[in-house]
Amino acid sequence: MHDLAAARKLPVYAAAIVALALLEGVFRYYMRTILIGLSREVEYDCVTTSSAISRDCPPPITRSNRIGDVMSRATNDLSAVRMVLGPGIMYTANTLATVRPRSC
């Protein structure tokens, strides 16, 4: 008798697990969309700010450094900022939500 009741509940539990997995997928999609979009906006703001600053640099600075080196460094730095803001925050939040603290 007990096995029959458990067998009747099994499809309900399976459907609940599938529904929770689908809900998690929806939330993960929107989290990624928002965070990666935000990181790209910050990168764009940094690019426009840095290009405005570079236009206003005094000539001695631009003479001592080659433009290609400055642009390469700026591109790498901005890419690193975008990666920290987008995926870095997303993966940290996902890890913190997944990991359970050990009980004493």
Evaluate whether residue 101 is within a structural domain.
no
Evaluate whether residue 103 is within a structural domain.
no
In this predicted structure, what is the pLDDT of residue 48?
82
Domain total of the chain: 1
Residue 46 to residue 82: CA distance in whole angstroms: 10
pLDDT at position 57 over 80? no
Whether pTM > 0.85 for this model: the answer is no
Residue 67 to residue 13: CA distance in whole angstroms: 62
Summarised one tens digit per residue, pLDDT across range 42-53 is 888 887 887 777
Residue 77 to residue 69: CA distance in whole angstroms: 12
Q: Which DSSP symbol is given to 65?
A: S
26-39: average pLDDT: 85
- Cβ(32)–Cβ(89) under 8 Å? no
Evaluate whether residue 98 is within a structural domain.
no
Evaluate whether residue 34 is within a structural domain.
yes
